[in-house]
Amino acid sequence: MKFDKWRDHDVLKQKILEGLPLDPKYGMPVMKRVAKADVRNPIPFNCLGSTKNRKELWFHFYIDDYQFERIWNNFVTYVPMLMDCEGGFSPDFSLYLGMPTVLQQWNSFRNKAIGARLQRMGKTIIPNVGFSDEKSLDFAFAGIPENSVLSITTQGCLQNGVCKQSLLNGLHELCRQKYPTKLYVVGLFPEKWKDKFPMPIETVPTFAGTRWGGNHG
């Protein structure tokens, strides 16, 4: 069967995946290194449609998954809106503790595929690094560039000791493997933790924090 890569119902996601280099172990799309980024005016993806002047905005996907599932299902529709922005973060389809591994791998794949495609369309996209426990780190870091500006979110990660420890363990391993030059953290990040890591860490307020005067992580 022959598939038209630009048709609306792109079952194989060819318009996202065509030509992307893939990690040899897991087949994860490989994202490009971001040497420098100055994130200003962060805005969640689900608010872009009602925003007219986007040229100085940085979009992110640190929101509930259902609010941006549509970009995977109908990527081409949303490209013009994203390309209007100054830059953005790659998606954050969730990897939860206890989630079946195959679903975590699928979400990690989608995060990198969309991010890598937008990079190759000329947009500055900071690679988001999503992970859960120690077992997830191998595939979670596959396709993530070395010596790059990177990002994570701590939303939902600071509520109990297990989640906090998984977050810290993952970040230490990220530094060991990928040598990030700067880390953007969307959500809360305890000040006392910053000395534990070699790279500059800059917190970005969640949209709730931007609107209501506090960062609620």
**Given this model, what pLDDT does residue 158 score?**
87
Per residue, what are the HEC states of 6-42? CCCCCCCCHHHHCCCCECCCCCCECCCCCCCCCCCCE
Residue 35 pLDDT greater than 90, yes or no:
yes
pLDDT (tens digit per residue) in 124-180: 999 999 999 999 999 999 999 999 999 999 988 888 899 999 999 999 999 999 999
Per residue, what are the HEC states of 112-155? HHHHHHHHHCCCEEECECCCCCHHHHHHHHCCCCCCCEEEEECC
Instruction: Give mean pLDDT, residues 15-41.
Output: 95
| Three-class SS state of 216 | coil
Q: Domain ranges in the chain?
A: 24-211
Position 44, amino acid: P
Looking at the chain, the whole-number percentage of residues with pLDDT higher than 70 is: 89
- Could you tell me which residue, 217 or 86, shows the higher pLDDT? 86
**Given this model, what pLDDT does residue 15 score?**
80
Total-model pTM = 0.89
- Tell me how many helices (H) and strands (E) the chain has: 7, 7
